[in-house]
Amino acid sequence: MNLNKNNQQILIVDDTIKNLQVLGTILKNEGYQISVAQDGRRALDSVAADTPDLILLDVMMPELDGYETCQCLKSSEKTRNIPVIFLTAKVEHEEIVKGFDHGAVDYVTKPFNSMELLKRVDTHLKIRSLQRQLQRKNASLAQELQVAQKLFEEACERIDGPLLGSGETICKLRESIESIGYNSDPVLLIGSPGSGEEAVARAIHRKSCRHQPAFIYVNCRQYKWESPEELFDVNPTSDHESTTSVYSLFQLADGGTLYLEAVNELTDSLQRQLADAIQELTDRRTTGKYTSPDIRIVAFIPWDLTVTPKVSLFSTRLYSILMEQIITIPRLDQRLEDIPDLVDHYIDKYAKRIGKNVDRLSTESLQRIQDYGWPGNIRELQNVLEHALAVSTRQIIEISEDLLEEGQRIDRYRLLDKLGEGGMGEVWKAKHQMLARPVAIKLIRAAKLIKKSERDLASKRFEREAQSISKLQSPNTIRLFDYGVTGTGEFYYVMELLSGMDLDSMINRFGPLNPERVVMFLRQVCHSLSEAHNAGIIHRDVKLQNLFVCKLGSEYDFLKVLDFGIAKISKEEEDTEITKNGIAPGSPITMAPEIISSSTSFDVRSDIYSLGCVAYKILTGKHVFNAKNSMEMFKHHLRSEPIPPSSVIDVEIPTDLEKIILQCLEKAPENRPKSMTVLRELLGNIVFATPWTQARAQKWWNNVPLVDAPGNQRSKKSGLHLETTETTKTNPW
């Protein structure tokens, strides 16, 4: 072991200046850092100010001698571990033993032998360094042990709760666990999410002969890497050569149980490799070759048991292997008789956690929760009880009807009314559980897509939109509050709920807008997209349905830009797979020519072209081009020249406004305004005799009743935009 002597501080204590000089010279020449003191009192003061790594201490000194000084050092928690080497001219056995009795680790006799001195100093500094390393390792191990104990306690809690009860259904489930506990064949668990799937898996492990080795939990939804090595390697960033993916996890669970939650979310290639590995383990057991790794697989599929399971979500071979032993986990509404036992357990658990003294649930509340449908199963029951206990100020806990509003719960949100759906996406009006704040939740029903690759691509698109919006702070951009993944692997994000109407609904109902109002709306769009463009985000779907007008606070005619789902991120972040495979990069009515002709050759001026199409429509009530289908519309965008707005509608249009709109609609991007900031300035330079004011906007909105969109509305398009005959609506985003 080599020491860095420049980092080693040695204190020399001697009342003879010559000795201090000699020792200091010897040690400095070796590179040590030196400090000195001429008596015991000064030595103690020096140590208190700056703790040395080692002390050379003279025995014979006036007032406080070496023995007394050493005794003081060893009596303090801070200094007791500092090694002390006595400096003495006495060689009698009794004197040497006395020094050790007072806490010294060694001694050096006078006159000094430099070779001996340096060897003793070096030895004890190395010993001290090793002691420190050992202390750090012990502290680290102690912390790891505490973490392991905490994880074990939490695992036990997760096991104990969901399997409680005396009803017939839960008793049969416990019997099934008991009957298969002692074999080593794979087990497939099927049930609704939140019904206690992990508790069942851990109970199978605990009932088996494998209960001593590890239970390894893997949530397959959290892994999005395609490469097996990246998915299963415990340290994907390490430089060592990783083993095959499944076997790295198998080795970690050797002798125990590997639990794969949502195993159907693995990629097709990983499902095939997992099937191969399980088959190999089964063949070894059949032939009596119990070689390492030796594990048991327990897998869970979050299937809604009220519908026919979609076996096509699964690798056929993997499903055939796992289906040999299947346990169906009942939903909570199938075992309502167990609710009193579950309630007592969780109330006691949560009360102890937060230090509250509570008695029980009120009789009315217990009856209320037994009459409730529990779409979120036991997980929802836990959330409700934890919330009720947290806000309760009495020993008898009450659960209000508001807390049990019917509807699916997603994390901290309750879905109330479906505002729209299209394809694989849905938009819901929802409420935050704690804040009671109304919000809009947009989620993707990934189960509607059969292929795993399609589900991954759709989830990436939703995640992309959430990440894009989260970077933006313009008040004219829709606000993002939260986003995540549900227990069934559905991606969702939470946004502000707006009351008002999009420009498409406004024009369809009320006709073209006057020019001064058009300019006011366009400048707000420029404000939003200018920030987005500066952040490297091109919207690519600027259209009337994505421009929502509302009353925000005391301000009327406030416009919000919506739906960044197909936004193009800067080249450094671009993932071309997200924007192909049939996902249209915008609306044909407002699509820029360069996007039509090339999927990659476009920039911020493409959004400017689309905004020009929007401006044309809200000013004239007509689209820039009329076409029977998308292909015909594309040809117009590529080849046809737009008719000036003043020739389309019999309304006086400022010359500057018409010029700006036609400039936005230029076929060549270089002929358009070069940025949204420039466009906003151009629009701001237009002077109106009667500008659009807040007073005019307020008068307009006072004549328009605000209503929520009906919950059973369905979109007539492939997108997620509501089409309603109502005057106004609550925007899904």
Q: What is the Cα–Cα distance from 590 to 597, expressed in whole angstroms?
A: 14
Higher pLDDT, residue 718 or 555: 555
Taking only the tens place, the pLDDT of each residue in 228-264 is: 444 443 333 444 444 444 446 777 778 889 999 888 8
pLDDT for 627 equals 92
Q: What is the Cα–Cα distance from 252 to 353, expressed in whole angstroms?
A: 32
Could you give the residue ranges of the DSSP H alpha helices within 241-376?
A: 245-252, 268-286, 316-322, 339-354, 363-370
Measured N-to-C along each axis, helices 339-354 and 363-370 cross at an angle, to the nearest 10 degrees, of 120
Higher pLDDT, residue 322 or 489: 322
Asked if 66 and 101 touch (Cβ cutoff 8 Å), the reply is no
Range of lowest pLDDT (94-108, 338-352, 423-437, 439-453): 439-453
Q: Where are the beta strands (DSSP E) in 332-456?
A: 360-361, 396-397, 409-410, 413-422, 425-432, 438-444
Structure tokens at 146: 């505490």
- CA angle in degrees (0–180, nearest 5) for 129-148-274: 115
Q: What is the Cα–Cα distance from 57 to 37, expressed in whole angstroms?
A: 10
Range of lowest pLDDT (67-71, 327-331, 709-713, 727-731): 709-713
Segment 313-332 shows an average pLDDT of 84
Query: Above 50 in pLDDT, residue 208?
Result: yes
Segment 66-78 shows an average pLDDT of 92
Query: Which domains does the chain possess?
Result: 5-134 (3.40.50.2300), 161-330 (3.40.50.300), 334-404 (1.10.8.60), 498-731 (1.10.510.10)
pLDDT for 236 equals 38
pLDDT for 657 equals 96
Higher pLDDT, residue 731 or 390: 390
Paired with 446 in beta bridges are: none
Query: Above 60 in pLDDT, residue 418?
Result: yes
pLDDT for 566 equals 53
Segment 413-441 shows an average pLDDT of 75
User: Measured between alpha carbons, how far is residue 243 from residues 256, 257, 594 in Å?
Assistant: 19, 20, 47
Rg, the chain, Cα only: 37
pLDDT for 58 equals 93
Asked if 578 and 464 touch (Cβ cutoff 8 Å), the reply is yes
Q: What is the Cα–Cα distance from 547 to 569, expressed in whole angstroms?
A: 20
Query: Above 60 in pLDDT, residue 714?
Result: no
Range of lowest pLDDT (158-162, 411-415, 655-659): 158-162
Tokens 């879905």 -> residue? 415
Asked if 199 and 242 touch (Cβ cutoff 8 Å), the reply is no
pLDDT for 458 equals 64
Q: How is residue 685 annotated by DSSP? A: T
183-203 residues labelled b (16+ CB within 10 A) or e (exposed): ebebbbbbbbbbbbbbbbbbb
For 714: left if phi > 0, alpha if psi spans -120 to 50, otherwise beta; the answer is beta
Name, in order, each residue with C-beta under 8 angstroms of 236's C-beta and a sequence gap of 6 or more: 225, 229, 230, 242
Give the H/E segment covering residue 376: none
Count other Cβ atoms within 10 Å, centred on residue 130: 11
Query: Above 60 in pLDDT, residue 348?
Result: yes
Query: Above 80 in pLDDT, residue 405?
Result: no
Higher pLDDT, residue 576 or 289: 289
What does the mean pLDDT of the chain come to? 81
